[in-house]
Structure 1
Amino acid sequence: MEIDKAQHLWQPQPGWLNTASYGLPPDPAWEALQEALAGWRVGGVAWESWDTATSRSRSAFARLAGVPSEDVAVGSTASQLLAPVAATLPTGATVVVPEVEFTSNLFPWLVQEERGVRVRTVPLAGLMEAIDDETDLVAFSLVQSSDGAVAPYEEIVAAARAHSALVAVDATQACGWLPFDAGLADAVVVAAYKWLMAPRGVALAYYAPHLRGRMRPDAANWYAGADPYAAFYGPPLRLAEDARRFDISPAWFSWVGAAPALELLLEIGVPAVHEYNVALANRFLTGLGQPPGDSAIVTVEVAGAQEKLARAGVRAAVRAGRVRASFHLYSTEADVDLALDALTS
């Protein structure tokens, strides 16, 4: 589906340039959620019908990330899905993380310090050079939340492999607009309420099979069972053999809203989304006399920017003292020009 033909599926108010905070649902996702809520209100629907959206979302995410669906686990937040990876590190292990990393991909490692895990924070630009033979795991965001910087993914992975280090990636600010191969890493986690345009409470993870063999499913529950519908009561422990053993029992309605959004992204194609989003971001940058970039998230420093944008009805974010604007499928050139007029008037 071409983007210009798909844009009628969103209903944004003009001036929404803040997908890096949360994405807007396409109509199929919104309508599926309303139908589920209506059924819940009157008790007219069996809950199993809502649960089919979870498997649909798992399958769609696997295709978006380029990995087998049996290597995908479902959860609720990025940090929750990183927790079992952090817990598997041996005492005395060393983790290297960018110093600007969003804390969902920092706190899971720092909390392990009490048992002897060492966390080294380094400048993002020097991440590859900081990886050495003492490094056990490298953790980083594929796209930085604060300023939209796109990490050199393949180069970082190659540097980690050269020192036999694991790689854990937070792709929350990338998946949905930036093409990448999750299978290059050992773990990739995504909170889906931003660029995947799902309700909050949906997160997914790719766990490489060799890594799963070292991980313990400390949050084991009925939904992680080999046959969840036969795992309601009593022993023995009977968990799935694949990544589903790390599943968290899903928040039904969030997944009902997630599946149509992920499937629509597949229909449009991430390469097309990437081209569209970056073009809008570069229109914004060049309009302010800045050089073009390679990200759908950009930051600018303009005196009084937050107040100027607010008066014009433009909704963006402020990160590290700079205005952060982010562009997605429902953004238009008119939205960009509205923001430019506000900032340059």
Structure 2
Amino acid sequence: MDSVDLPQLWSAEPGYLNTASFGLPPNRAFDALQAALADWRAGRTSWEGWGASTERARQSYARIIGVDAADVAVGAQVSQLLAPVAAAVPDGATVLVPELEFTSAVFPWAVHADRGVTVRTAPADRLAERIDASVDVVSFGLVQSSDGAVVDYAAVVAAARAAGAMVVVDATQACGWLPFDGSLADVVVTVAYKWLMSPRGTGFIYLSEAVRERTRPLAANWYAGEDVHGSYYGLPLRLAKDARAFDISPAWQAWVGTAPAMELVEEIGVAAINAHDVGLANSFLAGLGLPPGDSAIVTVDVPGADAKLTAAGIRTAVRNGRIRASFHAYTTQADVDAALNALAG
């Protein structure tokens, strides 16, 4: 699909440079959600059709990150999805995370301090060299929320394997624009409302078979049953034999908007989205006289930037006192030029 045509698939108003906070729905996803809401309002349908969207999205996520759908569970938020994994680490385990990691991927480990679990930090760009035999788990955002830095995935995985440590990846700020092989990790968690441009409240976790074997599905429920429709009532416990045992029951309408958004990502191709997004990010950096990078998220320190951009109707975010701008499939060169003009003014 020609990248020139990409923005036509959305209804974004000019000046939105904040996908790292939340993505904008493709028209097909927004329309599907509106139809589901209308059916809900009028009581025109049963829930099973909405539920089918959850399975479509699961399959799509598996294809996007290169894993088997049987190894993917669905949920709502990073912390919820990580909770059973963190609960399964041994007493006294050491978890290594980046210094400025988003807390939803840190707190699930830190709450186990009472049983001796220690969370150790390191600079994101030195994570691999800080992994040694004392580290049991290395958990990190593949793309850092605070500044858009892309962690050296291959180096971290290699160091972790050499040390015998479990690899847990939060791909929330990466999945949808950054190609990567999820199967290299033990766990890959992603919520879909950012770069997968879905309604808030849908997410996924890839769990390797080895991780599942030592992890208890603490939120066991009817939707996690081997036969969903035969698991409504009573004992015995009869959970799915694969990662579906870790599912939580889906927020139906949100999944209706998630499946078509993710399928569009597949249709365009993550590599093509990467070229579009990083190209615009680098155009923005070049306009500020800064060297190019490898991320769709950039942070810059320009005096008065927040006020200048806000006055011009450019929507970005502020993180650690710096402007964070993020560029996605619906972003145009005109958006970049408008932001640069505002900052120059």
User: What TM-score do the two structures reach when normalised by structure 1?
Assistant: 0.99
> Which residue number in structure 1 is paired with residue 138 of structure 2?
138
Which secondary structure state, in structure 2, belongs to the residue aligned with residue 219 of structure 1?
Answer: coil
> Which residue number in structure 2 is paired with residue 219 of structure 1?
219
> Which residue number in structure 2 is paired with residue 235 of structure 1?
235
Q: What is the Cα deviation at residue 201 of structure 1?
A: 0.1
Q: Which amino acid aligns with 2:23?
A: G
Asked if 1:112 is matched to 2:112, the reply is: yes
Separation of aligned partners in 1, 2:4 and 2:242:
39
Separation of aligned partners in 1, 2:125 and 2:64:
27
Alignment of 1:49-68 (within 5 A): 49-68=49-68
Q: What is the Cα deviation at residue 9 of structure 1?
A: 1.4
> Which residue number in structure 1 is paired with residue 171 of structure 2?
171
> Which residue number in structure 1 is paired with residue 147 of structure 2?
147
Asked if 1:44 is matched to 2:44, the reply is: yes
> Which residue number in structure 1 is paired with residue 32 of structure 2?
32
CA deviations 1:84-109 (Å, max 9, x no partner) are 11011000111111111000110011
CA contact (8 A) 2:7 2:332 kept: no
Q: What is the Cα deviation at residue 125 of structure 1?
A: 2.2
Which secondary structure state, in structure 1, belongs to the residue aligned with residue 111 of structure 2?
Answer: helix
Q: What is the Cα deviation at residue 2 of structure 1?
A: 2.7
> Which residue number in structure 2 is paired with residue 8 of structure 1?
8
Which secondary structure state, in structure 1, belongs to the residue aligned with residue 81 of structure 2?
Answer: helix
Q: Which amino acid aligns with 1:249?
A: S
> Which residue number in structure 1 is paired with residue 18 of structure 2?
18
User: What stretches of structure 2 of length at least 5 have no aligned partner?
Assistant: none
Separation of aligned partners in 1, 2:4 and 2:246:
39
Segments ≥4 residues shifted beyond 4 Å: none
> Which residue number in structure 1 is paired with residue 279 of structure 2?
279
Alignment of 1:73-84 (within 5 A): 73-84=73-84
> Which residue number in structure 2 is paired with residue 122 of structure 1?
122
> Which residue number in structure 1 is paired with residue 318 of structure 2?
318
Separation of aligned partners in 2, 1:241 and 1:22:
34
Q: Which amino acid aligns with 1:118?
A: T
CA deviations 1:271-309 (Å, max 9, x no partner) are 000011000000000100000000000000000000000
Report which stretch shifted further, 65-74 or 119-128.
Answer: 119-128
Report how many residues are paired. Answer: 345
CA deviations 1:58-102 (Å, max 9, x no partner) are 000100010000000000001111111101100011111111100
Over the matched positions of the two proteins, sequence identity in percent amounts to: 62
CA contact (8 A) 2:29 2:257 kept: yes
Separation of aligned partners in 2, 1:120 and 1:127:
11
Separation of aligned partners in 2, 1:7 and 1:14:
10
Q: Which amino acid aligns with 1:330?
A: Y
Alignment of 1:180-195 (within 5 A): 180-195=180-195
Asked if 1:86 is matched to 2:86, the reply is: yes
Separation of aligned partners in 2, 1:78 and 1:286:
34
Separation of aligned partners in 1, 2:47 and 2:138:
40
Q: What is the Cα deviation at residue 6 of structure 1?
A: 3.5
Q: Which amino acid aligns with 2:33?
A: L
Q: What is the Cα deviation at residue 4 of structure 1?
A: 2.4
Separation of aligned partners in 2, 1:52 and 1:270:
24
User: What TM-score do the two structures reach when normalised by structure 2?
Assistant: 0.99
Separation of aligned partners in 1, 2:154 and 2:228:
37
Q: Which amino acid aligns with 1:67?
A: V
Q: Which amino acid aligns with 2:317?
A: A
Which secondary structure state, in structure 1, belongs to the residue aligned with residue 112 of structure 2?
Answer: helix
Q: What is the Cα deviation at residue 130 of structure 1?
A: 1.3
Separation of aligned partners in 2, 1:112 and 1:125:
26
Q: What is the Cα deviation at residue 134 of structure 1?
A: 1.1
Separation of aligned partners in 2, 1:28 and 1:17:
21
Separation of aligned partners in 1, 2:253 and 2:67:
25
Separation of aligned partners in 2, 1:305 and 1:215:
46
User: What stretches of structure 1 of length at least 5 have no aligned partner?
Assistant: none
